[in-house]
Structure 1
């Protein structure tokens, strides 16, 4: 799912098509890891960059987490086009999801989890 909070006039067709392509690849890469995944984008606070966030869950309890990245508009409108900046940005979102997943694996167990583990033995 995608939520857009940016004026379409700030994005030309090249940026929008590159964004949709990279977002599709990002969603496909994270489909197995994330039970729910929402990508949001819009201008950053200073209106100087393209801000993207990915809100995601790993389990049925829907404990939402979020990672964010900003790409300067100058990078999107550069000579090489928007691809390089968007590929790097979605790569950073991937890294954030991976880091959250690793942190979750090494997080201390809750009381309920410890009790459930003790019952199995």
Structure 2
């Protein structure tokens, strides 16, 4: 799912199509890793950078996590196109999801999980 939080006039056709392409690739890469995934994008508070944030869950318990990445608008309007900046931003978001997955693996067990692990059938 994607939430639009940007004035369409800030995105020309090249930026919009590059964003959609990179977002689709990102969603496909994370489809199996995240049970729920929401991409939001828009200008940052200073209107100088293009911000992309991703809210996601890693299991059906729906414990939500969020990661963010920004790209300066000047980087998106480079002569060689917006691809480099957007690829970098989505790679940063991938790393954030990976970090959340690793942190979850090493998180302390809850009381219920400890009790279930000690039970012998």
2:119 aligned counterpart, secondary structure: helix
Give the structure 1 partner of residue 39 of structure 2: 39
Point out where structure 1 has 5 or more consecutive residues left out of the alignment: none
Give the CA RMSD over aligned residues.
0.8
Point out where structure 2 has 5 or more consecutive residues left out of the alignment: none
Q: Deviations over 1:29-88 (max 9, x none)?
A: 000100000000000010001000010001111000000011000000011110000000
Whether 1:26 aligns to 2:26 is: yes
Give the structure 2 partner of residue 98 of structure 1: 98
Whether 1:84 aligns to 2:84 is: yes
Runs of at least 4 residues off by over 2 Å: none
Give the structure 1 partner of residue 71 of structure 2: 71
Query: TM-score, normalised on structure 2?
Result: 0.98
Give the structure 2 partner of residue 48 of structure 1: 48
Give the structure 1 partner of residue 59 of structure 2: 59
Distance 2:96 2:15 in 1: 23
